[in-house]
Amino acid sequence: MPSYQLTISPDYVPDWGSNEALRELFQNGIDRENETDDSKFYVNYTVFDRRLILGNPNTYLHKSTLLLGKTTKDGKTTIGKYGEGYKLALLVLLRQGCRIRIENSNEVWIPRIVKSRTFGCDIIQIEVLKNKNDDGWLRYIIDGVTPEQYSDFQEKCLLFYPNTPSLKVNDEGTILLDPRFKSKIFCNGLYVCSYEGLEYGYSIPPDKIFLNRDRNKVDSFNLTWRTSIIWRFIDEVLSTHQKQEEYSKKIFDMLRKNVPDVQYYTDIYHYAKDSIYADVCEMEYKDFIKRHGVKAVVVKDEKERDFIRKKYGDLVPIVVPEREYILIGGSSSYKHFNISSYKEETPLTWVQEWLENNDVLPDKKALLLAEAEKWRYA
């Protein structure tokens, strides 16, 4: 009987449990379905015999994928890319006492933990049998998954919540509107982590988010930049004016609460439709004049405030945070008030106006503003 030996210690990834192992196998199935139209991911679990079957038709694992670090995925449209996932999943499930049979096209792979004569310790060995019922499927047949383990994993996979309220924003990501997913981050429907302070949950495509190797942490800037993009582009997928009003209010409320979901909302340049952005600007201005009166104008700093006070005594300059300054400046009502005619024009104000109408990353934006403060008229 031929076999393959994987030089991976069963003690590897000691902090992994059934959730991490099942995540890797589900990830492979979902990735495969996303890669080709004729490989729909199949899942079946029976409580009586504690058997979980996962599979894709028209799919085959080449023996080279048993090498640690070897993968056939591009890493752009797929969740996995490191070539470790399913090997580590097998290791963890075997460690937990599960029995595994992999029907791999014309072969059957039986992974076991065995004692290696070469290394004098336990390793993973794949015994290879002939598959007499080759139907072109790749199936993982796992015995020993408890109902509790399976139920716990289901909560971490959106595949089991097909009708959950959500809003997909083009290819940017999906907002999960169900309160049970608040603050939770998913990648292609698989749970990654919870991010404190988020008002909603999100499922983000793998090419739009940076994950760590274990896929249980996200880069915070990348995440909040991505959620801000999702909310900025949301008007493109709303079908009615009523929906637009509803989501304008949601965004305005989030900006008021300063939640991470919209941390960079005003830093992202978008011009295709922007009707919701215009509504949010109007809401911001109405709230501003409600608090400060119709003669109030926004200024960024004390220098600008003193200039307005000195030159235009009838106005009430109010120093506001940059985000509020940008939103109020984008209000058509505020523009109609023609406050620009009161402002002192400098190289800095020109750069500020240019930045308001162009998509520039925050670090580059700060650099440009710092340089512009030094510029003077020739």
Per residue in 61-110, pLDDT (tens digit) is 998 888 887 665 544 444 444 457 899 999 999 999 999 999 998 999 99
* 8 Å CB contact between 268 and 228: yes
pLDDT band at 349 (very low <50, low <70, confident <90, very high): confident
Q: What is the pLDDT of residue 352?
A: 76
Q: How many CB atoms lie within 10 A of CB 47?
A: 11
Could you report the per-residue pLDDT of 135-152, keeping only the tens digit for each? 999 999 999 999 999 999
Residues 6 or more apart whose Cβ sits within 8 Å of residue 355: 365, 368, 369
Looking at per-residue pLDDT, the higher value among 44 and 3 belongs to 44
Tokens coding 224: 């909040």
Q: Give the residue carrying structure tokens 């004729």.
A: 38
324 Ramachandran zone, left/alpha/beta (phi>0; psi -120 to 50): alpha
> 3-class DSSP state for residue 157?
strand
Number of H helices, E strands in the chain: 11, 14
3-class DSSP assignment, residue 25 = helix
259 three-class SS = coil
Query: Between residues 49 and 68, which one has the greater pLDDT?
Result: 49
Quote the CA–CA distance of 339 and 329 in Å, as a whole number.
9
Query: So what's the pLDDT on residue 75?
Result: 47
What is the pLDDT confidence band of residue 308, given thresholds at 50, 70 and 90?
confident
What integer is the mean pLDDT of 107-131? 92
Average pLDDT over residues 183-191: 95
**How far apart (Å, rounded) are the C-alpha atoms in residues 284 and 322?**
13
Give the lowest-confidence range in 117-121, 127-131, 339-343: 339-343
Distance between CA atoms of 157 and 124, rounded to whole angstroms? 28
Average pLDDT over residues 329-333: 89
* Band of residue 278 on the pLDDT scale cut at 50, 70, 90: very high
Which two tokens mark 136?
């072109």
Q: CA 335 to CA 325: how far, in whole Å?
A: 13
Angle at the Cα of 212 from the Cα atoms of 200 and 15, rounded to 5 degrees: 100
Contacts 24+ apart (CB under 8 A), 43-51: 43/159, 45/145, 45/150, 47/147, 49/143, 50/143, 50/144, 50/145, 50/146, 50/147, 51/141, 51/142, 51/143, 51/145
Comparing 360 with 145, which gets the higher pLDDT? 145
* pLDDT recorded at residue 73: 52
Q: Residue range 332-361: average pLDDT?
A: 70
The answer to whether 196 and 171 are in contact (CB under 8 A) is no
Spacing of C-alpha 314 from chain mean position: 48
Residue 350 is predicted with a pLDDT of 75
Mean pLDDT of 278-304: 93
Q: Comparing 18-27, 293-302, 330-339, which segment has the lowest mean pLDDT? A: 330-339
Q: With pLDDT > 70 as the criterion, what percentage of the chain qualifies?
A: 92
Residue 337 has pLDDT above 70, yes or no: no
Does residue 258 sit in helix, strand or coil?
coil
pLDDT tens digit sequence for 309-324: 888 888 899 999 999 9
Per-chain mean pLDDT for the chain: 88
Give the pLDDT confidence of 216-246 residue by residue, as tens digits.
Answer: 889 999 999 999 999 999 988 988 878 899 9
Integer-rounded Cα Rg, in Å, for the chain is: 28
- If one compares 286 and 307, the residue with the highest pLDDT of the two is 286
Residue 127 tokens read as 């015994």
Structure pTM? 0.81
Alpha-carbon distance of 252 to 281, in angstroms, equals: 9
